[in-house]
Amino acid sequence: QKEVEQNSGPLSVPEGAIASLNCTYSDRGSQSFFWYRQYSGKSPELIMFIYSNGDKEDGRFTAQLNKASQYVSLLIRDSQPSDSATYLCAVEGSGGSYIPTFGRGTSLIVHP
């Protein structure tokens, strides 16, 4: 059973701070990793994907991947109240199985 673990939160940070969201996965062969943002009552929207070890930056978002330790994280710099949402980590299956496994998501609250 492939697992993707996320702390459900909520993670509460003040406006302007860095929010750090973490995700661990069990499938050592996974190669593709995704972060989605889901506002309450809405569908997920892709924020970033990462394939290689290290950091990938896109605006205020940075994804970090460490395949040896089997974790992927998402940093949100200068957090804004509009960033308040649930952040879903998704891991693509390995061995020809592209089927993605999602974590249950971490609820982020950015307070003014």
Partner 1 sequence: ETGVTQSPTHLIKTRGQQVTLRCSSQSGHNTVSWYQQALGQGPQFIFQYYREEENGRGNFPPRFSGLQFPNYSSELNVNALELDDSALYLCASSGTSGYSTDTQYFGPGTRLTVL
Closest CA to 66 of 56, 58, 57, 76: 56
Q: For partner 1, which is the closer residue by CB, 60 or 100?
A: 100
The residues binding partner 1 (CB under 8 A) are 4, 6, 8, 32, 34, 42-46, 49, 88, 90, 92, 96-105
Q: For partner 1, which is the closer residue by CB, 42 or 77?
A: 42
Structure-derived torsion over alpha carbons of residues 94, 100, 104, 106, reported in degrees to the nearest 10: 90
Per the CB < 8 A criterion, the answer to whether 13 and 87 are in contact is: no
Query: What is the closest distance, in whole angstroms, from the C-beta atom of residue 77 to partner 1 in the complex?
Result: 24
Query: What is the closest distance, in whole angstroms, from the C-beta atom of residue 109 to partner 1 in the complex?
Result: 16
Per the CB < 8 A criterion, the answer to whether 21 and 87 are in contact is: yes
Per the CB < 8 A criterion, the answer to whether 104 and 38 are in contact is: no
Query: What is the closest distance, in whole angstroms, from the C-beta atom of residue 81 to partner 1 in the complex?
Result: 22
